[in-house]
Structures are given as structure tokens and as C-alpha cells.
Amino acid sequence: MKQVWPKLPLGDAMHQRDCDVAVDAEESYQFAGVYCFGRGVFRGQEKLGNQFAYQRLTRLRSGDFVYPKLMAWEGAFGVVPANCDGCVVSPEFPVFELDRERINPEFLSFYFQIPRVWEEVSGGSTGTNVRRRRLHPDNFLRAEVPMPPLAEQRRVVARIEELAGQIYEVRTLRDQADQGTLLLFETQKRRMFESVRHYGERPMENASVRVPNGSRYDKATVQPSGAVPVLSQSEESFLGFHNDAPSVGTENLPLVTFANHTCAVRFIDFPFSTIQNVFLMKPVPDLDARYFYHFLHGRMPQEFYGGHWSEVSLLKIPVPPLLVQQRIVAELDALQAEVDALKHLQAETAIELDALLPSILDKAFKGEL
């Protein structure tokens, strides 16, 4: 049965605290901040008093309520957690002490995780530009919120925590299943390549041609030519290039890049050019490009943490007949399709789980939980 709770001004259950810390230029201060979108209060940077212009600060106490005047409209509200007790905030962060006989801190914290509440409460913000609106403390304290008896507030908090715990358990199981799926795929892939080692192996330096860096390259011949976009070791440089295995008959090449002790395998389109720490490995004619890709992808970041060509060149790749290579590719492509379908299903489940808690909170504060 839906319950109807009285709505009272926040000022009936809290009052603003004064800035109680006089800044000393030689002292160190541990600042706190407030995340947007109802994600709460966090420990920020530690600064010396001579690194900022404020003359006074407010010291937070566990259970206080705080928000930044400028970002309130974006859900930057929060109850101070125990790990932020003793931190400080600037005068741009109004701090309020709660009347524990009127309102439960956890109840208030959950309430301010509801998106519709942010607009309702910050509607009194001043400023015509939405990103420059400021929520004055007087307007904030006039905002009305549901305020049932304390016993009811505690019951609602306990129920929300119970349901949130169940959501967390399901999300953990989903994440474990996701990791297990990827591990199973990589394990099966390794087994397939192990099963054909009896055909013989070649070091990577004999199974591929390392294309020099620093020049432009064109399709098929991989010969230098004019100026084109440069591929670097940064992830941004891969935009517009393929992250999946090429189709049958493609002349695209696997691009192996090393930077900061990591590497990545991509298939690229022509034309392109490369710079230092980026090199191409072009498979020799009796190696299927997709077979080459599957062998490299997923293992090199783990096996060649140092990221040096001298190490990569010694990696041995099994070289069965082309028909066997193509059979392995077909099996891996089919397995990859199954993995992708499962990952898609898991992603849909994740979206549903993410939507559950906001729905629970909305019902809870409408007296329907």
C-alpha cells in the first residue's frame, strides 16, 4: 500500500555551518569534493595554504551534508562519509549539520541519488546559463523533501540496502561470467594452436616481414609514397582502423604497436605512415592473415610485456598447411561469434541492472517500497 509522507523544508532538519578554519599559508589541508550525478563525496587533493586564495575553509564532519553551489543542478550532493571526516572544503561548498532527531543521513543520501530530485531542489539556482547556475543555501533550505518518522526512514534505508546488495551480487556474478567467457575463448584458442605445432614452427622474424617505420605505405606493395595520416602508439591513432580480423582475401596488415610496456594488434587500411615504436608485421605468403591475427591477438600483451622487437621476433608460430589454417580460422570465427552474442546479452543485462537501483529509489521515496 502506498504511503503518503509529509514534505517539509530541508531547513527543518538541518542548518548551515560556518567556515570554521582560518587558513595558514604554511599548513597543509586535505580537500574533499563532491561527484556529480549523486555519486557522493570523495577525498580530493592535499594543498598547502599558500596554494589557494581562500582565507577560510569549512572542516567536514562525518554525516554532514555538502554540495558545490555551481554544480548542484548536475546532482553534486552528498552526505560526508567516514573517510572524508576532517577534510575541508572551500566557501563555494555550503556545509550543513543534520538534526539526527529529524532526518537519517542515509535516508537523505539515497534521496539525493534520484535524478528528478536534483532539478527540483536546484530549481532555485540563480543564473540564466544552465552551467553557471548557482544554488544559494537559503534556496536549498527552502526545498521540501519527504520526511516520514525516523523509524520509517530507517526501515526504508534497510530495505534499499537489502535490494542494493542483491543487485551488487548479481552484477558480480555477471562480471565473473564475462571474464570466464573470455578466458574460455582464449584457452580454446591456445589449444587449437598447440594442436598444430607438430606441423612445424617458425620464429616470427621468419614468418613475417617487418615493415620499417617513418614512411608512408600504400596497398599491396607496402611501398613508401606521399604524406598521409600517421599511426602512432597512442590509442587515438587507431580511430578509423579495423580492430577485428580481416575478411577473406584482404590485403590489410596486422599493426603491432608498443608503448608504455603494452602492445595492441590492429588491422589497418591503406594508405598510412608510422613513427617510432610502431611497426608492422606482414605475414609471409603461406600464412593466412586471419590465422596470423588470431595467433597474435590476446596473447602478445601478456607474453611480451617489455614490448621490444627483439622479443617479438623470437615468438614461434605454428605453420600448418593453408587449408588447416583456414579451418582453425573458421572455428575461431564461429567461437568468436558465440562469445560476441553472449557479451551482447551480458551488456543488455548490465543495462537492466543499472536501471534497477534508480527505479527502487524512486519507488522508495514515493512510499511504494
Q: What is the pLDDT of residue 255?
A: 54
For residue 32, the tally of other CB atoms under 10 A from its CB is: 25
Q: How far apart are CA 108 and CA 145, in angstroms?
A: 9
pLDDT of residue 216 exceeding 60: no
Query: For residues 209 and 17, which has the higher predicted lDDT (pLDDT)?
Result: 17
* Averaged pLDDT, 121-147: 78
Q: What is the pLDDT of residue 57?
A: 97
Question: pTM to 2 decimals?
Answer: 0.63
Most confident of 87-96, 281-290, 303-312: 87-96
Query: What are 157's three cell numbers?
Result: 534505508
Q: The dihedral of CA 124, 130, 134, 140: what is its sign?
A: positive
- Give the number of C-alpha atoms closer than 13 A to the C-alpha of residue 270, restricted to the C-beta side: 17
Query: For residues 111 and 209, which has the higher predicted lDDT (pLDDT)?
Result: 111
* Averaged pLDDT, 21-48: 94
Query: For residues 339 and 318, which has the higher predicted lDDT (pLDDT)?
Result: 318
pLDDT band at 129, cuts 50/70/90?
Answer: low
Query: For residues 224 and 199, which has the higher predicted lDDT (pLDDT)?
Result: 199
- The runs of H, that is alpha helices, within the chain are 105-111, 115-122, 137-142, 150-194, 204-207, 289-296, 300-303, 309-312, 322-364
Q: How far apart are CA 98 and CA 141, in angstroms?
A: 12
Please give the order of strands across the beta sheet that includes 278-283.
Answer: 208-211, 278-283, 253-259, 262-268
CATH architecture of residue range(s) 7-148? Alpha-Beta Complex (3.90)
Q: The dihedral of CA 39, 109, 42, 167: what is its sign?
A: negative
Q: Which of 208-212, 267-271, 352-356 has the lowest mean pLDDT?
A: 267-271
Q: Which residue has the cell 596488415?
A: 253
